[in-house]
Structure formats: structure tokens, C-alpha cells
């Protein structure tokens, strides 16, 4: 199997991505307050295997080692998130100087190594006091979020030019939908979605006010919806899935209105909110792992369900492994949204078990194959006219995979959770070679 065509654009950004809760540890160190995920993890039966983020990869105390691992890759971009409760423990008012100092060190360490920061303001771990006040189900959280974003811009905006407001608001919506399937669950989820977008819209002008020349985007998890059959009910279900997932955030961000089903917007929003949400973006972050096959369902909250992809292998998380379908999603974006700003691939990765072998190495060749095929799809999309500016592997390190605990491993670097030793995998070496041979390649054709 050959590597993808080496002719990526000269300015194409190669990077890796992480998130604060999944790697930092130090859950109550130096003035950090509890996050909603700390609370969840500390409850009996909270996360698989009794996992917590108390230590995680201990990135907070091993920052220099991890920065050097990034430098060894030769990447030019590092996507990370700030832990809101680390820098503003109550989610309003007082800032924690020791927490902010950690991100000063992180940003300065990146710049010293010629790696550009790509800062995600919110990657799911809001302060517990924000949740106690209603979380994203209440409108006030959007205002709190905008204040928080502005504070980060004031502190870090002299060194950070590239910002993502939210990571995967769709995932947050699904996680916060409560109760049995039905109207109450659906209405709650859509309220959470709208308030996240409102927070984004309020934050964008504040970022621009404090960071002249800022590049501001948002990171969305998109799948690409295909009906499970040509039966009318499955075709209609796939259209609903597209409206409630892939288009739920893109339409208001890019077109100023929520998608319509049967002539009615899936979320009713006032003109002022819609105008705020549609603040111009410099780029859209795309997170992609697997395609979706959709069938009608009488029990699904929105009237549809995901079904297995015929003939596809599945990974440790049960996701279908069909990297060839990444190109279909990129084509759908190109054809559906001619107004789409440049794309940045902000996450793309493969979960494995990834144990050390007798020689102390990890031969994660399935990950290499998956990433290689995904990149060939990116390359083909560039040739077809997609404006894709960068690609970030999820993830630099094995880490805490949220509800799934520590068993699924996404990293280019293996982490021994008992000793916290880092061991670069075969995929790390492959990506290093790819980055160092492609980042100075010839411009793509067209």
C-alpha cells in the first residue's frame, strides 16, 4: 500500500489534536475547580472501568515532554483545548492565575518549537457551578461562555491567532438529552444546541475585538448520512438525520437559519439570535471518524437510528471502518454549501487496543492504513475543488476516551497509565515521515 500523493499545498497545516479533560490530569491542582466531567467520573459507575480524569496522561506536569514529542513529529499546528474550570473555576468572575499560567507555558512552548497554537475554547468540560445553574439548557450559559472566551482572548490573544469556539456541539446536545425518547427529550436537546450556537455567536466579535487578524472557526462532527435502503421511510429518515445532525449547525452558521423539515425550521429562533449565530467564520473545523447508515425508527428521538454498514469491519468502539467514505462527506460539503469557508480537518483518528509488544513497541498498522486512506480522500477532495487548509490527527496521546474510559487508544504515542511512560508508535513514525516530506511539497494542481 502506498502513501497518499505527496503533492499537498505548500501552506497545508499538519497537526495533532487533544482535549484538556482527556490528557491534563491535575484535576484539583493549583486552584482548578471541578468540571462536569470530574463530577461524572467520581460518581460510582460513572465512566467505564471506574476511570477518572484525576491523573489521565498527567500532561499538566509533563508538558515539556509532550511538547518535545510534538516537535519530533515536525508538525506545524497543535489543536488543544483550555479547561474552563482550570482558568475560571466558577464559570463567572474570578480568574485563576495559576491555571492561566499553565496555558501561557503551553503556548510559549509551542511557539518556541515553531508550532502554531489552534485553541479550542470549549471541549465539553464546563465548570460544575455552570451546570448547577442549568448548563447549556439555560440561555445565561451562552453569556457566561462569551465572557470566558473574551478573557482567554485578553490573556492569550497576543500569541494565539487561531481559535475554535466549540468542539462538537452536536455531541454535547446528545449527551445532555435527558429522559425517555419523546418531545421533552427532543426539545431539551434542541435548546442545548441553540444556546451553544448563541454562545458561539456572542463570542466571535469579542475574539475579533481583542485579537486583530484572528482566524475564528468552530469544530463540527459530521458523518454523511446514507439511507439504509431505498425504501421511502429510510430515505425520509436519512433526510431527518441530515437535518438534525450534519445540517443542524452548518445551516444557522452559514445561512442564518435552521434547516427546515416539512416547511418548518427544526428550531424556532428570533432574528437577533440568528444574526448573532451567523457571524462570519474564517474556517470550519471538520471532525470525521465514520459514515452513518440511517434507517427509520419508531423509538428514536428524531425518528431514525444508525444501523451497521454492510460488509464493513468495526473498531474497538463499534464504529464502522470505512475510510473511503470520508471523500463522500467532503464532496457533500462542497456541493451543499458553496458559501462554505475554508475547511480544517480538526479531528480524524482510529481507536485501537494498542498494547506494547515484546520489544516494547506498538505496531498500530491498522491506524496507519486508516489514516493513509483518509488522507488520500483529502487529497482527492483538494483536486475536486475543496478548500482544505489543514489536517489534525486525533490524537497525540492515548487518553481518557470519555464514557469509554481508557481502553480505546487513539494516540500516535502510547501511554502506560500505570507509569505514564510515553512510547511513540509505528503511526508516530509514519506521520513524522509524511509531515516532513509533504509540508514542503509542490502546490496541488488546479
Q: Which of 420, 352, 355, 351 is nearest to 59 (CA)?
A: 420
CA–CA distance, 163 with 140 (Å, rounded to integer): 22
State which H helix or E strand residue 201 sits in: helix 183-210
Q: Enumerate helices (H) and strands (E) in the chain, giving the number of each.
A: 15, 15
State which H helix or E strand residue 343 sits in: strand 343-347
SS3 280: coil
Which residue matches cell numbers 468495526?
A: 314
Point out the annotated binding site for substrate.
22, 123, 167, 289, 394, 401-402
CA–CA distance, 125 with 127 (Å, rounded to integer): 7
CA–CA distance, 163 with 160 (Å, rounded to integer): 8
Instruction: Give yes or no for a contact between 165 and 216, defined as CB atoms under 8 angstroms apart.
Output: yes
For residue 33, give Cα distances in angstroms to 30, 38, 358: 9, 9, 41
Point out the annotated binding site.
22, 123, 167, 289, 394, 401-402
Q: Which of 381, 369, 380, 390 is nearest to 435 (CA)?
A: 390
Assess whether 168 carries a catalytic annotation: yes
CA–CA distance, 155 with 179 (Å, rounded to integer): 40
State which H helix or E strand residue 227 sits in: strand 225-227
Q: Which ranges constitute the DSSP H helices of 19-176?
A: 20-23, 36-42, 63-73, 84-87, 97-112, 128-132, 140-156, 169-176
Assess whether 347 carries a catalytic annotation: yes
Strand partners, 116: 77
CA–CA distance, 261 with 243 (Å, rounded to integer): 8
Q: Which ranges constitute the DSSP H helices of 256-364?
A: 271-277, 326-336
* DSSP letters spanning 365-396: HHHHHHHHHHHHHHHHHHHHT--EEEEEEE-S
Which of the following is catalytic: 150, 168, 242, 344? Answer: 168
Please identify every residue annotated as catalytic.
Answer: 168, 347
Amino acid at each position: 500500500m502506498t502513501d497518499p500523493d505527496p503533492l499537498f499545498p505548500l501552506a497545508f497545516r499538519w497537526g495533532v489534536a487533544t482535549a484538556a479533560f482527556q490528557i491534563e490530569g491535575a484535576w484539583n491542582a493549583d486552584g482548578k475547580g471541578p468540571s462536569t466531567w470530574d463530577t461524572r467520573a467520581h460518581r460510582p459507575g460513572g465512566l467505564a472501568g471506574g476511570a477518572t480524569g484525576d491523573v489521565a496522561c498527567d500532561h499538566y506536569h509533563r508538558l515539556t515532554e509532550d511538547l518535545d514529542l510534538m516537535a519530533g513529529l515536525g508538525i506545524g499546528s497543535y489543536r488543544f483545548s483550555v479547561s474552563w474550570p482550570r482558568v475560571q473555576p466558577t464559570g463567572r468572575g474570578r480568574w485563576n492565575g495559576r491555571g492561566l499560567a499553565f496555558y501561557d507555558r503551553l503556548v510559549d512552548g509551542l511557539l518556541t518549537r515553531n508550532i502554531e497554537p489552534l485553541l479550542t475554547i470549549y471541549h465539553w468540560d464546563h465548570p460544575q457551578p455552570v451546570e448547577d445553574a442549568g448548563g447549556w439548557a439555560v440561555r445565561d450559559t451562552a453569556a457566561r461562555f462569551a465572557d470566558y472566551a473574551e478573557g482567554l482572548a485578553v490573556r492569550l490573544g497576543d500569541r494565539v491567532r487561531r481559535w475554535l469556539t466549540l468542539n462538537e456541539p452536536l455531541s454535547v446536545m446528545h449527551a445532555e438529552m435527558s429522559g425517555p425518547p419523546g418531545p421533552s427529550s427532543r426539545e431539551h436537546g434542541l435548546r442545548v444546541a441553540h444556546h451553544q450556537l448563541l454562545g458561539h455567536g456572542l463570542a466571535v466579535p469579542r475574539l475579533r475585538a481583542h485579537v486583530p487578524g484572528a482566524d475564528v472557526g468552530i469544530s463540527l462532527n459530521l458523518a454523511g448520512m446514507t439511507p439504509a435502503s431505498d425504501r421511502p421511510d429510510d430515505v425520509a429518515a436519512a433526510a431527518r438525520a441530515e437535518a438534525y445532525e450534519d445540517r443542524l449547525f452548518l445551516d444557522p452558521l452559514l445561512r442564518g437559519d435552521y434547516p427546515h423539515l416539512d416547511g418548518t425550521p427544526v428550531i424556532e429562533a428570533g432574528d437577533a439570535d440568528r444574526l448573532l449565530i451567523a457571524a462570519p467564520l474564517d474556517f470550519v473545523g471538520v471532525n470525521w471518524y465514520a459514515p452513518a447508515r440511517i434507517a427509520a425508527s419508531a423509538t428514536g428521538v428524531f425518528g431514525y437510528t444508525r444501523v451497521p454498514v454492510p460488509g464493513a469491519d468495526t473498531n474497538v468502539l463499534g464504529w464502522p471502518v470505512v475510510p473511503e467514505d470520508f471523500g463522500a462527506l467532503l464532496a457533500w460539503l462542497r456541493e451543499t454549501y458553496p458559501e462554505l469557508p475554508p475547511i480544517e480537518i480538526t479531528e480524524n483518528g482510529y481507536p485501537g487496543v494498542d498494547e506494547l509488544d515484546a520489544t516494547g513497541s506498538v505496531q498500530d498498522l491498522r491506524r496507519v492504513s486508516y489514516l493513509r486512506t483518509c488522507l488520500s480522500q483529502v487529497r482527492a477532495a483538494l483536486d475536486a475543488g475543496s478548500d482544505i487548509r489543514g489536517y489534525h490527527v486525533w490524537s497525540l496521546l492515548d487518553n481518557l476516551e470519555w464514557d469509554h474510559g481508557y481502553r480505546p487508544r487513539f494516540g500516535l504515542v502510547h501511554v502506560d497509565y500505570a507509569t505514564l511512560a510515553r512510547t511513540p508508535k509505528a503511526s508516530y513514525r509514519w506521520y513524522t515521515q509524511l509531515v516532513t516530506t509533504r509540508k514542503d511539497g509542490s502546490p496541488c494542481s488546479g
